[in-house]
Amino acid sequence: MRTVSVHRAVIGRRETRVVRPSPSSTLTGLVAVDPFGAAALVAEFPPVWLRDNCPCSECRDPSSGQRLFGLEELPAVLGVSGVVPDGASVVVRFTDGHRGVFARDWLLANRLDGYDLDPRTQDAKVLWRPAELALDRATFTWRRFQDDPDHRARCLDSVLRLGFALLRDVPVSPGAVLEVAAGFGYVQETNYGRLFDVVTRPDAPNLAFTDRPIAPHTDNPYRDPVPTLQLLHCLANEAAGGDSGVVDGFHVAATLRADDPMAFAVLTRTPVTFRYAAPGVDLVATAPLIAVDPRGRIRGIRYNNRSAQPPRLPYPEAVEFYAAYRRLATLVASDQLRFRLDPGDCLVFDNTRILHARTGFAGIGSRHLQGCYADLDAVESAWRAHRPQGTFGG
């Protein structure tokens, strides 16, 4: 029997497991010289972990790979009674009489050495400040997106890593934004329709439909869940003004955390209510401006000065909240990447991270954008499916 320390020494130093390991990171060779002993295996994987993840055809449906039992069906106390190496596999006997065969490669790939990387958190992103990001790096063309799988993958990657992509040469025709959205996932219809026209109109129910400037914001914070992907396609932009801007909300939040951790904490724990009311519609959602994952990593920004409601907080919390909110607002205002959308340009962005803005406009020339919403999980899925090694079991 091997001791834990011997086993660990052979396995090598633990490292954080990431969702997309490169093929060269497998440690098959090392394991081949270290047949798992029962004590070593159990030291590495709790018996219930192994039993729950047994790949046999009694435990998993062979065609879908999906699990066929619930954890409550296993005995509360479960042990491993024997481990026998068998070539590239290890045969494990459990105290409930079950027998599981585990491939060594699989055990190594799933060793308990950290957490899966949540692709929605800051850890999976490239945070940027405007001065350091050339717009070209996030610029793609719709024709190549359709014809060239690598161009498309790089564009999806830009949305996932940088938070946005600028697609040029989209046809300047009404409704084209829906075709672009289909390249990224599935359109989410809202009270604004499958798509919405950003044009000035009288009695506008939203500042977006006026010629006023719009400060950096995320869309639809009054919705739960918020649409996680947004597209804005330019059909005309002849007005004076009407320039665009984007802000990396994750970078801004990370800066706030570094500069003023207390203010950051206040914004992660203070619920803010957003509301949008128009004839036949009254949408309300309450959530903090900065969402973090269970490990405290930045995972979402919900920020919109137009639709934020009066905070109902105890007096000291209201004071503390406004001080923190103002610090965030100041960072947001100074961190914009500015550019101009021309007809045929379509901005595609992560609405849980990237704040978007426009300057006010005036004059006789027309300005017309069409927008729609979709979701980021489909972008992740398309990006992963493009990769040859991008399949996951189960």
Chain residues in the site for Zn ion (CB under 5 A)? 54, 56, 58-59, 100, 219
Q: Which is nearer to Zn ion, 74 or 318 (CB)?
A: 74
351 touching ligand OGA, by CB under 6 A: no
Show the site string, 218-247: x = touches ligand OGA by CB under 6 A, - = not. Answer: -x------------------------x---
| Cα dihedral: 62, 68, 71, 77 (round 10) | -70
Rounded CA-CA distance 129/333 in Å is 12
Of 229, 193, 228, 197, which Cα lies nearest the Cα of 210? 197
Rounded CA-CA distance 104/22 in Å is 18
Nearest 5°: phi and psi at 159?
Answer: -65, -40
Q: Which is nearer to ligand OGA, 198 or 332 (CB)?
A: 198
Helix or strand holding residue 174 (H, E): none
Binding test (CB under 6 A) with ligand OGA, winner from 214, 215, 226, 291: 214
358 touching ligand OGA, by CB under 6 A: yes
Number of residues interacting with ligand OGA: please give it, by CB under 6 A.
Answer: 9
Question: 56 touches which of Zn ion, ligand OGA, none (CB within 5 to 8 A by kind)?
Answer: Zn ion
Closest CB 70 distance from Zn ion, rounded Å:
14
The residue sitting closest to ligand OGA, measured at its beta carbon, is 358
Q: What type of residue is 292?
A: V
Closest CB 163 distance from ligand OGA, rounded Å:
15
Of 134, 140, 187, 186, which Cα lies nearest the Cα of 159? 140
Of 119, 184, 186, which Cα lies nearest the Cα of 153? 184
Closest CB 230 distance from ligand OGA, rounded Å:
7
Binding test (CB under 6 A) with ligand OGA, winner from 223, 356, 376, 383: 356
Rounded CA-CA distance 124/126 in Å is 7
The first and second tokens of residue 255, run together, are: 């800066």
Show the site string, 172-201: x = touches ligand OGA by CB under 6 A, - = not. Answer: --------------------------x---
Q: Which is nearer to Zn ion, 100 or 344 (CB)?
A: 100
Rounded CA-CA distance 244/127 in Å is 20
CB 361 within 8 A of CB 240: yes
| Binding interface with ligand OGA (CB under 6 A) | 198, 208, 214, 219, 244, 356, 358, 369, 371
